[in-house]
């Protein structure tokens, strides 16, 4: 079928209040609608920026997405970029989703999620984190941890409230706080302290407006884990100042030290003031299933559920059935994937240090965060030139907050041979600088 040119607007231009059109090809099916270069409805002149809510207009697009649009469609690129397992979801988990469809389970579920899944979550969380939750009233199944972060913040915050979180951090934290009409208060963590979060630094950031402390250990993008004494210090502050703690545990299974993972929720006096967020995307390689959950005292879950029921209704039932299988029988496959990540982490950290890009040994997640300041390039310059000259994609550290500048995030959830080739190319690139 012959194609016709269809104009699309560039979001970058749109965000500056003007419109510009690129082109892609659509089948001739649309020809009747497409008249000339620009379809009539898009010709209207309107100040779209004035129509967009101020707090949404104020937040930037994700630096990761912008960067990866450049990589789209290029087969020659080795990507150490997007934080996504290179494994397909283990087969028995996929089968559970298929079986759910086969049985005709294609309906809505309870807003809170299938009770059978919530029971599996309660059992798993009790065993893994050593914190007990009531399946009927203290667990909410969400569309990924992403939704859980959003609705937890919206459930807790009033305009002007402050949220403390550690930076460099996952790209969604600051925008999610702003979308809840609250104020992000980043606490900078440094390479010198292994990107750990010190209670003294948290204490210095607390004001009468502080309502929430957000934690994420192991951390995206640094892989940092929290020491027990630091978590105890932060817990003491939360209790003293009557704060809620949100702990994003999405990487908690992916730890490579031999220590048992400790969540702040398990510390004395913390279960009642903590929202534990977890999901299936990373440890079980289930990013596309879009499934996560929140565990918290009933009144908080009830408030989150109100937003969830109106905005989302429920998480997809096929994903919920697959998640039960992951929790009940997925641990051996998860441990195998973790073993493989462990080997890749060790290799990548060794090679980056050999190349002269100083890199601490992260305790968890699947990211390394080498220091590229010795090259004299900004993180964006480094990442763009590396992509251009050697076809290796990494994320500029500045995408994770200003304190990530001077670093690069490399995700090692990538085939071992690709990591080897990528490091050879990075070596060649750095050698030329």
Closer of 144 and 398 to ligand PLP (Cβ): 144
Segment near ligand PLP (CB under 6 A); pick from 143-151, 207-215, 268-276, 307-315: 143-151
Judged by CB under 6 A, the residue of 81, 113, 279, 363 near ligand PLP is 279
| Residue 36 CB, nearest approach to ligand PLP (Å) | 41
Residue 83 vs 406, nearer CB to ligand PLP = 83
Q: Find the part of the chain contacting ligand PLP (CB under 6 A) among 10-18, 141-149, 316-324, 380-388.
A: 141-149
What kind and span of H or E run contains 67? helix 63-71
- Least CB distance to ligand PLP at residue 27 (A): 33
Of 65, 79, 86, the closest CA to residue 392 belongs to: 79
Output DSSP code: residue 114.
Answer: -
To the nearest 5 percent, what fractions of the chain are helix, strand and coil?
45, 15, 40
146 binds ligand PLP (CB under 6 A): yes
Query: By CB under 6 A, which span of 124-132, 144-152, 177-185, 316-324 interacts with ligand PLP?
Result: 144-152
Q: Which is nearer to ligand PLP, 176 or 379 (CB)?
A: 176
Of 137 and 287, which CB lies nearer to ligand PLP in the complex structure?
287
Interaction mask 233-272, ligand PLP, x per CB under 6 A: ---------------x-x----------------------
Report the alpha-carbon distance of residue 365 to residue 225 in Å, rounded. 9
CB neighbour list of residue 6: distance below 8 Å, 6 or more residues apart: 23, 24, 25, 26, 30, 34
Interface characters, 62-91, with ligand PLP (x: CB under 6 A): ---------------------x--------
- Strand, helix or coil for residue 149: helix
User: Looking at 55, 287, 378, 391, which residue binds ligand PLP (CB under 6 A)?
Assistant: 287
Which one of the spans 14-22, 94-102, 118-126, 142-150 is the region binding ligand PLP (CB under 6 A)? Answer: 142-150
**Phi, psi for residue 208 in degrees, rounded to 5:** -60, -15
Q: Return d(Cα 45, Cα 352) in angstroms, integer.
A: 51
223 part of the interface to ligand PLP, by CB under 6 A = no
User: Which of 168, 292, 330, 362 contacts ligand PLP by CB under 6 A?
Assistant: 292
Dihedral sign (CA 410, 416, 422, 425): positive
216 binds ligand PLP, rule: CB under 6 A: yes
Q: Which one of the spans 9-17, 44-52, 88-96, 139-147 is the region binding ligand PLP (CB under 6 A)? A: 139-147
Structural tokens at position 402:
């200003």
Site string for ligand PLP, 313-332 (x = CB under 6 A): --------------------
Neighbour tally for 267: CB within 10 Å: 20
CB nearer ligand PLP, residue 100 or residue 319:
319
Which is nearer to ligand PLP, 170 or 369 (by Cβ)? 170
Element (H, E) at 392: strand 392-393
Query: What sign does the CA torsion over 69, 72, 78, 83 have?
Result: positive
Name the closest residue to ligand PLP (Cβ): 144
Residue count, binding to ligand PLP (CB under 6 A): 13
Gap between the Cα atoms of 88 and 94, Å rounded: 9
Q: What is the longest distance spanned by two Cα atoms in the chain?
A: 69
Residues that bind ligand PLP (CB under 6 A): 83, 144-146, 170, 216, 220, 248, 250, 279, 281, 287, 292
């Amino acid at each position: 079928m012959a194609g016709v040119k269809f104009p699309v607007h560039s979001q970058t231009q749109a965000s500056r209040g003007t419109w510009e059109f690129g082109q892609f090809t659509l089948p001739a099916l649309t020809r009747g609608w497409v008249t000339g270069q620009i379809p009539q409805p898009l010709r209207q002149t309107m100040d779209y920026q004035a129509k967009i809510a101020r707090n949404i207009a104020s937040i930037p697009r994700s630096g990761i997405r912008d960067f990866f649009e450049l990589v789209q469609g290029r087969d020659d690129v080795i990507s150490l970029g997007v934080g996504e397992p290179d494994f397909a979801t283990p087969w028995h988990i996929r089968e559970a989703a298929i079986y759910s469809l086969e049985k005709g389970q294609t309906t809505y579920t309870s807003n809170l999620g299938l009770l059978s899944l919530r029971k599996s979550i309660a059992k798993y969380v009790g065993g893994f984190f050593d914190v007990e939750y009531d399946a009927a009233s203290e667990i909410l199944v969400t569309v990924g941890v992403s939704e859980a972060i959003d609705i937890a913040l919206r459930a807790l915050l009033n305009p002007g409230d402050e949220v403390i979180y550690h930076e460099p951090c996952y790209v969604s934290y600051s925008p999610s706080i702003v979308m809840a009409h609250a104020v992000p208060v980043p606490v900078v963590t440094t390479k010198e302290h292994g990107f750990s979060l010190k209670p003294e630094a948290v204490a210095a950031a607390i004001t009468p407006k502080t309502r929430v402390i957000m934690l994420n250990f192991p951390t995206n993008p640094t892989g940092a884990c929290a020491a027990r004494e630091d978590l105890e210090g932060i817990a003491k502050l939360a209790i003293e100042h009557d704060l809620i703690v949100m702990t994003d545990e999405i990487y908690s299974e992916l730890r490579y030290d031999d220590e048992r993972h400790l969540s702040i929720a398990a510390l004395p006096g913390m279960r009642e003031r903590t929202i534990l967020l977890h999901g299936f995307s990373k440890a079980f390689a289930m990013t596309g299933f879009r499934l996560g959950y929140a565990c918290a005292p009933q009144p908080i879950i009830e408030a989150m559920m109100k937003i969830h029921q109106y905005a989302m209704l429920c998480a997809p039932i096929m994903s919920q059935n697959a998640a039960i299988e992951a929790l009940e029988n997925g641990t051996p496959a998860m441990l195998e994937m973790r073993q493989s990540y462990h080997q890749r982490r060790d290799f990548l950290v060794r090679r980056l240090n050999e190349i002269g890009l100083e890199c601490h040994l992260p305790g968890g997640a699947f990211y390394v965060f080498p220091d590229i300041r010795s090259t004299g390039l900004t993180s964006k310059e480094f990442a763009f030139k590396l992509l251009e000259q050697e076809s290796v994609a990494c994320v500029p550290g500045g995408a994770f907050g200003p304190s990530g500048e001077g670093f690069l995030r490399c995700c090692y959830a990538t085939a071992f041979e690709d990591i080897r080739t990528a490091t050879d190319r990075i070596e060649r690139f750095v050698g030329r600088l």
